[in-house]
Chains A and B, each alone.
Chain A
């Protein structure tokens, strides 16, 4: 009776299946071949790529680095985004202006801003070191030392994506009901107790959603790395995506990079599912 329903679903579904599913199946097949510059084509070498990958310490280091970087930046983004959302939630002059301002970075093209950040971090001509000098902190070797380069990447990521957390959390705050706050005020609860016992519990679900989306997006990190540090100095800022890019698009080891990609995808899906379950359980328990 409702045969027309397929007219709605199928066009989009078929297009997505065609664009995503076939490439994915193809990647699986390629990962069992030794396709590279010298031998392009689909031969069968069994699981050799995966054995090689297990011993590839550069890959695993990149994966660990990516995990730590992701967890650290997303945590900071969450704390900062929540703090900013609370600050411009109400009782502040020109709050709409601040809201607009705080949103702008997420609208900008990440690579383009990374190029600008690169000039900002420039050790002799950039504006950051003179400011640090004036503050008595002293100039820093931003992009030439491993620790500093990682910090630079984190600063850029926080600048770019804290606005997303801010957006989600402010939208959540603005949709909260008023009654619990009246009740809290009648009970004589101070601002800190009100936050801990009223605001935070009600924001738990939307927080989980926002954190998960950011974890997913942040774990793809590579464009900023490409522009800002090119993985350097050495391999000290390489992320998984960036390393796979080097192997696949630069060294043209198609077969091996397919194996790396699939492993990366599986690791990501598994760890994100675990994190999602854990976060959801925390929310439900409260």
Chain B
């Protein structure tokens, strides 16, 4: 078990990590989900020993890691850039970490060849990495990370610099390989909520260097504990609406008066934020909205709307063409909205829904 406690890191005056505590269990795949600069890379670099945190502790099975330089920590890492050793052949690249750990040359090469076969590069062992495509280079890097069988495997957005198709394919291959490796703690960083929710046994949401929520993907997605968590975990972006509840009645900015029945619950007076996911908006309804932009991707349509001066996003599970500037009627299913209080904290409502 890798235990991180109260880790803090400030670099060049910017807070990269702020009191981060996480536990990683063997055999578990944890995704770190957060926007760019949320602290994912900083956390991984701290685990690998590439940066020294200002406070906190990192320990593997009770052994302190902070005193260990990177070359003494049993970690493997794949980064966004395809980094391989330019002067070595693909085979020697993958055998390199084994040789450095004292494995005999022949055995190292056999194991490297085996690993290259598993990432589909059996025919490229004699090439230099510079002569491979981006996807192939990243496979070499993945093979080099996996061949060590390090107990901690860090994957920092490994596919972000590849094109979409390649990314999907490689991700599935990686999952196949990883499920065969038992006992490894895998940490996978991503900016893409869908990817994170599909992949991990557990999701950790990071925002501005802090852990905002951690748990199984379904829980995190269904009940984001705060506005920040809801924003990180929603794709397309979650719609945020202002709700004002007073003794005489409630009003949502831009929509007008609402009743407790509309909301599916009664709330004490106060100011709230409603988080409504894009798929909880539907075409056909009482509210007139202007179409600002329509994107069709696959069998889904994402439409950006302006309703009474507020920007909203609607997701339809069909292909629909909306003319730009057209006025369409939409409905909002507020019973499905997450309700956050004035501090941005979730106000629970019994069971959560997907």
Direct contact, A vs B (beta carbon within 8 Å): yes
Measured between C-beta atoms, what is the minimum distance from B54 to chain A in Å?
15
Interface residues on A, range: under 10
> What mask results when residues 47 to 59 of chain B are scored 1 for a CB within 8 Å of chain A, else 0?
0000010000000
The yes or no answer to B69 lying at the interface (CB within 8 A) is: yes
Question: Which residues of A have CB within 8 Å of B69?
Answer: 1-2
Question: Which chain A residues numbered 1 to 16 have a C-beta less than 8 Å away from chain B?
Answer: 1-2
Question: Which residues of A have CB within 8 Å of B67?
Answer: 1
Measured between C-beta atoms, what is the minimum distance from B46 to chain A in Å?
14
A2 to B52, CA, bound (A): 12
Question: Which residues of B have CB within 8 Å of A1?
Answer: 52, 67, 69
A104 to B69, CA, bound (A): 49
Question: Which chain B residues numbered 36 to 81 have a C-beta less than 8 Å away from chain A?
Answer: 52, 67, 69
Measured between C-beta atoms, what is the minimum distance from A3 to chain B in Å?
10
A2 to B68, CA, bound (A): 10
Which residues from chain A sit less than 8 Å from chain B, CB to CB? 1-2
Closest B residue, CB atoms, query A2? B69
A1 to B69, CA, bound (A): 6
Measured between C-beta atoms, what is the minimum distance from A77 to chain B in Å?
38
Closest B residue, CB atoms, query A1? B69
Measured between C-beta atoms, what is the minimum distance from A4 to chain B in Å?
9
> What mask results when residues 177 to 202 of chain B are scored 1 for a CB within 8 Å of chain A, else 0?
00000000000000000000000000
Measured between C-beta atoms, what is the minimum distance from B251 to chain A in Å?
53
A1 to B67, CA, bound (A): 8
Question: Which residues of B have CB within 8 Å of A2?
Answer: 69
Question: Which chain B residues numbered 69 to 103 have a C-beta less than 8 Å away from chain A?
Answer: 69
Closest A residue, CB atoms, query B69? A1
- 4 residue pairs bridging A and B, Cβ less than 8 Å apart: A1-B52, A1-B67, A1-B69, A2-B69
Pairs of residues from A and B, 4 with the lowest C-beta to C-beta distance, nearest first: A1-B69, A2-B69, A1-B67, A1-B52
A2 to B49, CA, bound (A): 12
Measured between C-beta atoms, what is the minimum distance from B45 to chain A in Å?
14
Measured between C-beta atoms, what is the minimum distance from B33 to chain A in Å?
31
Question: Which residues of A have CB within 8 Å of B52?
Answer: 1
Closest B residue, CB atoms, query A4? B69
Measured between C-beta atoms, what is the minimum distance from A171 to chain B in Å?
24
Measured between C-beta atoms, what is the minimum distance from B354 to chain A in Å?
47
A20 to B52, CA, bound (A): 37
A2 to B72, CA, bound (A): 12
Closest A residue, CB atoms, query B66? A1
Measured between C-beta atoms, what is the minimum distance from B244 to chain A in Å?
52
A2 to B70, CA, bound (A): 10
A1 to B49, CA, bound (A): 10
A1 to B52, CA, bound (A): 10
Measured between C-beta atoms, what is the minimum distance from A66 to chain B in Å?
45
Measured between C-beta atoms, what is the minimum distance from B63 to chain A in Å?
16
Closest A residue, CB atoms, query B49? A1
A2 to B50, CA, bound (A): 11
Measured between C-beta atoms, what is the minimum distance from A63 to chain B in Å?
45
Closest B residue, CB atoms, query A3? B69
A2 to B71, CA, bound (A): 11
Measured between C-beta atoms, what is the minimum distance from B67 to chain A in Å?
8
A2 to B67, CA, bound (A): 11
Measured between C-beta atoms, what is the minimum distance from B336 to chain A in Å?
50
A2 to B69, CA, bound (A): 8
A147 to B341, CA, bound (A): 89
A59 to B97, CA, bound (A): 65
A114 to B67, CA, bound (A): 62
A203 to B245, CA, bound (A): 64
A192 to B69, CA, bound (A): 58
Measured between C-beta atoms, what is the minimum distance from B340 to chain A in Å?
44
A20 to B229, CA, bound (A): 61
A50 to B67, CA, bound (A): 57
Closest A residue, CB atoms, query B70? A1
Closest A residue, CB atoms, query B52? A1
A2 to B51, CA, bound (A): 12
A164 to B224, CA, bound (A): 65
Measured between C-beta atoms, what is the minimum distance from A101 to chain B in Å?
34
A206 to B314, CA, bound (A): 53
Measured between C-beta atoms, what is the minimum distance from A8 to chain B in Å?
16
Measured between C-beta atoms, what is the minimum distance from A5 to chain B in Å?
11
Measured between C-beta atoms, what is the minimum distance from B229 to chain A in Å?
36
> What mask results when residues 156 to 167 of chain B are scored 1 for a CB within 8 Å of chain A, else 0?
000000000000
A113 to B67, CA, bound (A): 60
A1 to B66, CA, bound (A): 10
A64 to B209, CA, bound (A): 61
A71 to B228, CA, bound (A): 63
Closest A residue, CB atoms, query B72? A1
Measured between C-beta atoms, what is the minimum distance from A79 to chain B in Å?
41
Measured between C-beta atoms, what is the minimum distance from A31 to chain B in Å?
45
Closest A residue, CB atoms, query B68? A1
Measured between C-beta atoms, what is the minimum distance from B180 to chain A in Å?
35
A242 to B165, CA, bound (A): 71
A1 to B70, CA, bound (A): 9
A162 to B265, CA, bound (A): 84
Measured between C-beta atoms, what is the minimum distance from B65 to chain A in Å?
12
